[in-house]
Amino acid sequence: MPLDPADWITATKDALKTTALGPRAEHRGRVEEIGDGVAMISGLRDVRLDEVLRFAGGQTGFARVLDPGLIGCVLLDAAMDVQAGDAVFGTGEVVGVPVGEALLGRVVDPLGRPLDGKGPVEAEAHLPIERPAPSIIERDLVTQPVQTGIVVVDTLFALGRGQRELIVGDHSTGKTTLAIDAMIAQAHSDMICIYVAVGQKTSSVRRAIDALQSQGNFARCIVVVAGASEAPGLQWIAPYAGMTMAEYFRDKGQHALIVIDDLSKHAATHREIALLTRQSPGREAYPGDVFYIHARLLERAAKLSKERGGGSLTALPIAETDSGNLSAYIPTNLISITDGQIVLDAALFHQGQKPAVDVGLSVSRVGGKTQAPVLRRAAGTLRLDYAQFLELEVFTRFGGMPDGRVRDQLTRGARIRETLRQSQHAPLRLADEVALMLAVQAGLLDPLPLAAVAQFRAKLPALLDRDAPEFPSVLAKTGELDDTTHKDLMDVLARFVTSLADGTAPANP
C-alpha cells in the first residue's frame, strides 16, 4: 500500500528528532601509489600503527609504516579496484579477529571470514591480533606432557604444555605431516588444535584438512588459511590471528596447540612488505625487525599460573631450510627463540626412515621434565644406545668383523631404528609406546628379523587390547605401571615375539 503523505511527514520529523545534527570530523586521505598489495597514502596524520584503513571501494588494509609524509598501508583484500587518487578513511580500530567456541570445526581466513561454506562465524568477541605476551610472574613451569603419538618425539624429545618447539627441515621432508600427526593425536585429549597455513599451496592445505577430518577430531580444531595466492597482508597477519584465537582458550584455563606452517614464508612476506614500503634492508634484504616479529609472536605461547587459570598454549612453528643449512638467517633466529628443535633430514627421508628426525641435531630444552614418568623409565638409555649404534654403524661400513659385544649393539640399534619408524597419520597411544619401549629395551626384539619387528610394531595396539586390556586402562588412570601389571605385560609381549619368530602369529591379533 502507498504511504500516506501525512504519515510520511510524521515519520520524517520523528527521524530528524533522533538524528544528531552538526559538524562531523572525518579522517580522510588519498592514495598516492598502489602496487603489489601495498598502498602509499597521504593526508591521514592521526593514524596509529596497525590501524584498519578503509578504501572508497570497500577494501581494507592496515597501516604498517608511519612516515611523516606518507603512510604505508598493506592491503587485506585484492588491490585490483584500488587506484591512485582514491579516498581512504581511518577507522580508529586496529586489526582484530573473532574468537570463541564458534570457530571450532571451521576453516577461516585470518580475519575470521569463513572459507568452508558453512555461513558466518558467530563470534563471542573480537580481539586484536597483537597482544602482549604473559609476563614472567603470570607463567608457571612447563611440566605437563603433550603426547604427540609419535614414538621418536615422545621418547627422545618430549614436549610440554606451554613449550615452543621448532620443526625445521628441507622442502618435502615431512614437517607438516609431523605437525598434523601431533594434532591428530589430540583427538581424545583435552587440547584444542589450531593449524595456521601461511603461503601454502591449496593442495597442501586440502591434504592437511582431509587428514584432520578423517583421522582427528576436527570438531575441536580451527584451520586458518592464508594461501600463496592471497594478499600479502593476509599472509602477514595469519600467525598473529591464529595465536589470538588460541589465546582465547588458554585464558579460559583450557589447553591449546598451535601449528604455524610456516614461518619461513612469513619472513619472506615480511621482507616483501618491508621493501615495498621502503624500509631499510639488512642481512639478506630482511628488515632489522625480522627477529622481533617472530619473538613477540612465539613468546605468547606459555603455561599460565594457577592464578591466571592454569591454561596453556603450546606452539609448533615450522621453518624450511635450504640444503639442510641450519645456520641460515631465519632458522638461526627461530632456533634461538624456541625451546628446542626437531630437525628433519632429507637423507634419512629418502632412505625410508620416517619420520626423518635427525637424533643428533634435534633437542628439547624442556625434555625429561615433561615426559611421562612411565615412558621415561621404559625408554631408559634409548637415546644413548641409538647414538652409539649410529656411530658404530658408520665405522663397521669400512669392513672388518666386529666382536660379539659390538654385534649385539648393532643388532639392538637396528631394532631401535625400526621401532622409531612410523606411518603417517597413525599416532600411538601412551600404552603402545610404553609397551614398545619395554620390548626393545628388554631385548625381546633382538632375535627377530627387521621385517618381523615392523610386524610387531604394527600389531602391538591390537595385541594389547586383546591380551592385556587392563594395561592401557591402568596406565590412563594412574600413570604408573605396578609390578604385577608389568610382569603380565612382559609375558604377553614375550609370547607374541615367540609366535612371530616361529611364524605362528595370527594375522590380526
H-type helices in 185-314, by residue range?
Answer: 202-215, 232-251, 263-276, 290-298
Question: H-helix or E-strand containing 255?
Answer: strand 255-261
- Specify the DSSP class assigned to residue 427: P
Active site residue 365: yes
> Reduced to 3 states, what is the DSSP secondary structure of residue 462?
helix
Choosing from 139, 365, 383, 421, which is the catalytic residue? Answer: 365
In DSSP terms, 72 is beta-bridged to 40, 65
> What distance in Å separates the CA atoms of residue 265 and residue 198, rounded to the nearest whole number?
7
**Strands 255-261 vs 312-320: parallel, antiparallel or unpaired:** parallel
Give SS3 for 84. coil
Measured CA to CA, the distance from residue 464 to residue 434 in angstroms comes to 11
- 85 in helix, strand or coil? coil
Cα(105)–Cα(216) distance, integer angstroms: 11
Whole-Å CA distances, 210 to 110, 191, 206, 225, 242: 20, 19, 6, 14, 20
* Nearest Cα residue to 316 out of 131, 157, 473, 199: 157
Say how many C-beta atoms besides its own lie within 10 A of residue 104's C-beta. 17
**Spatial CA neighbour of 260 closest among 188, 199, 349:** 199
C-alpha–C-alpha distance, residues 98 and 245, integer Å: 7
Neighbouring residues of 257: CB distance < 8 A, sequence distance ≥ 6: 146, 182, 183, 186, 191, 192, 193, 194, 313, 314, 316
The answer to whether 420 and 152 are in contact (CB under 8 A) is yes
Is the CB of residue 75 less than 8 Å from the CB of residue 115?
Answer: no
Whole-angstrom Cα distance, residue 359 to residue 375? 18
Q: In sequence order, what are the residues at sequence separation of 6 or more whose Cβ sits closer than 8 angstroms to the Cβ of residue 207?
A: none
Active site residues: 365
